[in-house]
Amino acid sequence: MENYDVIIVGCGPAGLRAAKVLAENKINVLALDKKQEIGVPVRCGEGLGLGWFKRLNLKPNSAWAVQPIKGAALYSPTGKKVEIRFEEVSGYILERRMFEKYLAREAALKGACIKVKHHVLDVKRKGSKVEVFGKYLGDEFKYSANIIIAADGVDSLTARRLGLNTTNKLVDIDSGFQYEMAGIDFEDPDLIHLYFGNEVAPRGYVWLFPKGDHEANVGVGIAGYREETAKYYLDKFISSRESLAKGSIIHINSGAVPVGGFLDNMVLDNLLVCGDAAHQVDPTHGGGIGLSMEAATIAAEVAVEAIKKVDYSQKFLSRYNKLWYEKRGNALKQRLKARIFMEQLTDDEFDAIADNLSGEDILKLAGGELSEKAKFMARLLIKKPSIAGKIAKSLR
């Protein structure tokens, strides 16, 4: 049986980034994916902020970063628009199938071995190693490794098979549905457009992420426990807007987004979990590309250390928990509180916020200017006292 230092299950952004980091460090790494093509099918809105390009050392390439974005337009339930516009490009809409292929090429170039159509059906500990069983085009395969990185996305079973429960609770997950539409009309293709309201998207929002002047990803995310489906909300949104309803749907995709059930522990003996499999998604907007790649980098670096020290114990690997929580985890828990506050707002309160908030305010708030926060809250509370209780509740 072929043995590897590390086997990665799942070749999305997380798995491919881990593969590259490991290969760069001369680690013998195998990355398996059940899909027949890297990057397909897409289950994503494909937005990525510029900060992530810098943090992940990625250079935007027009082959996969197809639409530069300079800000966002937010729409309240009654349609009031708040615009946040930067002078410079602040992010990109990706073509993810091309992006993931690019990540795969980079990893392969460094020496990682990637195999598609390899479905991992079971993982079992044997002695100090883990054995990986699966099927490739109907034939069984079996490999062993010292460390498994579970980067198998939202439908991850690898960690669960090794004894770490990564199941999502319904309250902690959003249901998402998206059309890529062509032949539609909208304003400002250099902005992303986000539509809020309990009728539009309970707990979430509808997004329109432009890909050119007449094409966009139009999608919705809603709380996972709702009776109506995400598709129901998106169809309702589109059919009420002639500028969208007249277009063609050239791609449909769906998915679930873990928006808050962070795992306190993401390691066991021989196991590291990262990306959607470890619920590493921003709870306020559901973005996970950047976070999953950052976490995968940390997980891979810890794996490199573990291999050097020949120590694959949970105790050693738990360094990954510590490093991730220091870098992101605690900040994300704060953002979870912000989301919990947002989801309690009535449409009226939402509108009151939009009425009292300019794009500039949002930038200052996001930048953490405390005096601005205080001023804004004061303004808001005078107009909508009901919000005060909700703020207090969400801070608990």
Partner 1 sequence: MVKYNQEKCLYCGGCVSVCPVMALELMETYIKYDAKKCINCNSCVKICPVGAFMVEGR
Q: Which of 97, 231, 319, 335 binds partner 1 (CB under 8 A)?
A: 231
Say how far apart CA 68 and CA 121 lie, in whole Å: 40
Q: Are strands 129-136 and 47-49 parallel, antiparallel or unpaired?
A: unpaired
Decide: helix, strand or coil at residue 297: helix
106 burial (CB, 10 Å; 0-12 / 13-18 / 19+) is middle
Say how far apart CA 135 and CA 271 lie, in whole Å: 21
Which is closer to partner 1, CB of 70 or CB of 231? 231
Closest distance between ligand FAD and the C-beta of residue 121, in Å? Answer: 7
Q: Are strands 215-223 and 248-258 parallel, antiparallel or unpaired?
A: unpaired
Residue 288 within binding range of ligand FAD, rule CB under 6 A: yes
**CB neighbours (10 Å) of residue 165?**
8
The site partner of 349 among partner 1, ligand FAD, none (C-beta below 5 to 8 Å per kind) is none
Closest distance between partner 1 and the C-beta of residue 165, in Å? Answer: 9
Please give the structure tokens belonging to residue 231: 């598709």
- How far CA 87 is from CA of 69, 219, 253, 310, in Å, comes to 10, 27, 32, 50
Residue 8 within binding range of ligand FAD, rule CB under 6 A: no
Residue 273 within binding range of ligand FAD, rule CB under 6 A: no
Say how far apart CA 273 and CA 261 lie, in whole Å: 14
Residue 236 within binding range of partner 1, rule CB under 8 A: no
Residue 19 within binding range of partner 1, rule CB under 8 A: no
Q: Phi, psi at residue 318, to the nearest 5°?
A: -65, -10
Quick one: which segment of 62-70, 167-175, 237-245, 317-325 binds partner 1 (CB under 8 A)? 167-175
Decide: helix, strand or coil at residue 158: helix
Which is closer to partner 1, CB of 129 or CB of 339? 339
Closest distance between partner 1 and the C-beta of residue 396, in Å? Answer: 26
Q: Which of 71, 176, 204, 288 binds partner 1 (CB under 8 A)?
A: 176
Burial of 294-332, coded b for 16+ CB within 10 Å and e otherwise, reads bbbbbbbbbbbebbeeeebeeebbbbbbebbbeebbeeb
* No. of helices (H) and no. of strands (E), the chain: 14, 18
Quick one: which segment of 47-55, 63-71, 163-171, 380-388 binds partner 1 (CB under 8 A)? 163-171
Which is closer to partner 1, CB of 221 or CB of 329? 221
The site partner of 146 among ligand FAD, partner 1, none (C-beta below 5 to 8 Å per kind) is none
Q: How many residues does the chain have?
A: 396
Residue 95 within binding range of ligand FAD, rule CB under 6 A: no
Residue 273 within binding range of partner 1, rule CB under 8 A: no
**Binding pattern for the stretch 113-142 against partner 1, x by CB under 8 A and - elsewhere:** ------x-----------------------
Residue 26 within binding range of partner 1, rule CB under 8 A: no
Which is closer to ligand FAD, CB of 155 or CB of 199? 155
Residue 329: DSSP 8-state: I
Which residues are at the interface with ligand FAD (CB under 6 A)?
Answer: 9-15, 32-35, 43-48, 119-120, 151-155, 176, 178, 219, 255, 257, 275-277, 281, 286-290, 292
Which residues are at the interface with partner 1 (CB under 8 A)?
Answer: 34-36, 41, 43, 119, 153-157, 160, 167-170, 173, 175-177, 224-227, 229-231, 252-256, 258
